[in-house]
C-alpha cells in the first residue's frame, strides 16, 4: 500500500516534472481519497498514505506554479473497485454498514472529474476535487456529529 500510494505518486511526479518544466506547462493529477481528509478505525495505514498524497500534492502545487505546471488532487469517496476485497472480514462488515444503500462511483465518474480539472483554461487551477456518491455520509457530517457528541448542539 505504501509503495503504490506514496512511492508511485513520487516516482510519477519525479519522471514527469522535468519534461513539464522543459516545455513550460503541464498538469499533474494525483488521486487520493476521502480517507486523506478523515481517518477511520481500522484504516490507519491507508489514511497515512492518502494524507501523505494530499500534503505532497499541495507542496508540489506551490513549487510547480512558477514552472507553469498545475497540480490537482482528486479525492474520491466510495468507488466500485476491487479494493474492498483486500480487507479483513471485520473491516468488510464495517464498510458494508457504512455504505449500505449507497451506489458507489464508477471509474468513469472519476475520469470525468479529472477531465473537468485538466480542461480548465490556463489561468484556472482546480487544486482539490472531493467527489463522493450522493448518498455517502462523509467528512463534514462526521465532524459535525463528533462535535455535537463532545460539546452538544
Provide the CB-side half-sphere exposure for 122 (13 A, CA).
8
Place of cell 484556472: 124
Q: How many residues does the chain have?
A: 153
Distance from C-alpha of 109 to C-alpha of 105, rounded to nearest angstrom: 6
Cell of 105: 462511483
116 annotated active-site: no
Catalytic pick among 37, 46, 56, 78: 46
Cell of 38: 478523515
| Residues annotated as part of the active site | 46
Amino acid at each position: 500500500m505504501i509503495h503504490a500510494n506514496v512511492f508511485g505518486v513520487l516516482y510519477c511526479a519525479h519522471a514527469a516534472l522535468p519534461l513539464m518544466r522543459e516545455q513550460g506547462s503541464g498538469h499533474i493529477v494525483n488521486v487520493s481519497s476521502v480517507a486523506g481528509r478523515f481517518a477511520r478505525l481500522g484504516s490507519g495505514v491507508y489514511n497515512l498514505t492518502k494524507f501523505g498524497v494530499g500534503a505532497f500534492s499541495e507542496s508540489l502545487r506551490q513549487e510547480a506554479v512558477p514552472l507553469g505546471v498545475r497540480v490537482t488532487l482528486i479525492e474520491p469517496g466510495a468507488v466500485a473497485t476491487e479494493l474492498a476485497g483486500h480487507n479483513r472480514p471485520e473491516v468488510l462488515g464495517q464498510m458494508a454498514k457504512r455504505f449500505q444503500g449507497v451506489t458507489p462511483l464508477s471509474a468513469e465518474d472519476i475520469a470525468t472529474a479529472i477531465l473537468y480539472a485538466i480542461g480548465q483554461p490556463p489561468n484556472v487551477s482546480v487544486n482539490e476535487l472531493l467527489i463522493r456518491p450522493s448518498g455517502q455520509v462523509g467528512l463534514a457530517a462526521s465532524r459535525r456529529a463528533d462535535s455535537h457528541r463532545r460539546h452538544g448542539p
